[in-house]
Chain A
Amino acid sequence: MTLPPLPSTERAAILRDSLAVGVATGAYGISFGAIGVSSGLSAAQTCALSLLVFTGASQFALVGVIAAGGAPMSGAATALLLGSRNTLYGLRLAPLLGWSGWRRAAAAHLLIDESTAMAVNRDSRPAARTAFLGTGLAVFSLWNLATLGGALAGEALGDPRTYGLDAAVGGAFLALLWPRLGDRLARVVALAAVALALGLVPVTAAGVPVLAAAGVALAAGLMTSRAPGSDASGDSR
């Protein structure tokens, strides 16, 4: 890959930050590996998710639905709905990265929360590319190594409930949700989703309550767009 020139000090600084993000994110691949096998997946299936799906929240969602006794396909559907936010990241990054052909096809696999966050605020294309690739590759390598370690450790542990791993799944989802609760609309949507999902648990198959909650987001988006100025999202010009 030939990158246009970037001052070596800036390049080194970007790569150092990328590695730090990779280490921090990779570390929780350990919890994904352990939770994956405790949800009833094999170590190979857990590792395949990290290698091929490679977007954390979607992976946790798929194993979470399976752990709750849901059909694997409703787990996959939930994973896809969560993965749709990567499409928006791509829309934002495409003009900045400026790749086409096989480079774009390869870069797409690395398009995740962390690589987007590290690349999106750069002021030049070389800097954005360096941050995107550095972060993406660091997270990919460490996330997969950590998943393997966690999966092997999880298999050796025995009954996951003894170690509270079922509670760890809920904690992981809450930690992924927490930074998204910044504005009032998001908090209202979250509460409505909780109420709908819990209401559906006794009357639907496992996996359905979570999928149905996506409807809350759609309804909230439609309602706020029909009432311009009713929320603080800043779209009313």
Chain B
Amino acid sequence: MTWLAILVASAGCYLLKLAGLSIPRAVLDRPLVSRVADLVPVALLAALVAVQALAEGSDLSMDARLAGLGVAAVALALRAPFLVVVVLAAATAALLRLT
């Protein structure tokens, strides 16, 4: 099932890329379409952040992950590069679980 999902995502993501290079510009280049397309990643990523930090199965729980996310937000506000942000989030959660 996981392999099937990987293949579906692979084929789909490739076709989305190819479509962009192939479709006549006028078909998709409308204000509504481009605005929604700009906002879809924002909505999905925000939801992924929240679920990743707070969901525990079908419950919500505040634990070391939320502290890691807070440190990541501070690092981003200080313009830290991607890898530093990710490592700081992991290190924060790991240290809290040691104590």
Contacts and interface: CB of A to CB of B under 8 A. Distances in A.
Contact of A48 (B6, B12, B19, B88): B6
A167 interface: yes
A164 B53 CA distance: 12
A189 B3 CA distance: 32
Interface of B is mostly: helix
A94 interface: yes
State the main secondary structure of chain A at its contact with B: helix
A171 B21 contact: no
Contacts of A28: 82-83, 86
A61 B93 CA distance: 21
Contacts of B91: 164
Given A31-B83, A180-B41, A90 B12 contact: no
B50 A88 contact: no
Interface residues on B, range: 35 or more
B32 A221 contact: yes
A218 interface: yes
A55 interface: yes
Interface in A195-237: 196-198, 201-203, 206, 209-210, 212-218, 220-222, 224-225, 233, 235
Interface in B53-79: 53-55, 57-60, 64-65, 67-69, 71-73, 76
Given A173-B52, A174-B69, A194-B49, A58 B43 contact: no
Given A173-B45, A177-B42, A220-B39, A111 B86 contact: no
A201 B61 CA distance: 11
A209 B53 CA distance: 13
B54 A198 contact: yes
Interface of B: 1-10, 12-14, 16-23, 25, 28-29, 31-32, 34-55, 57-60, 64-65, 67-69, 71-73, 76, 81-83, 85-95, 97
5 contacts: A62-B9, A91-B23, A167-B53, A172-B86, A202-B60
Given A82-B40, A178-B76, 13 more contacts: A27-B83, A41-B2, A55-B17, A80-B8, A83-B13, A90-B23, A111-B17, A171-B88, A175-B82, A180-B45, A194-B50, A197-B47, A218-B36
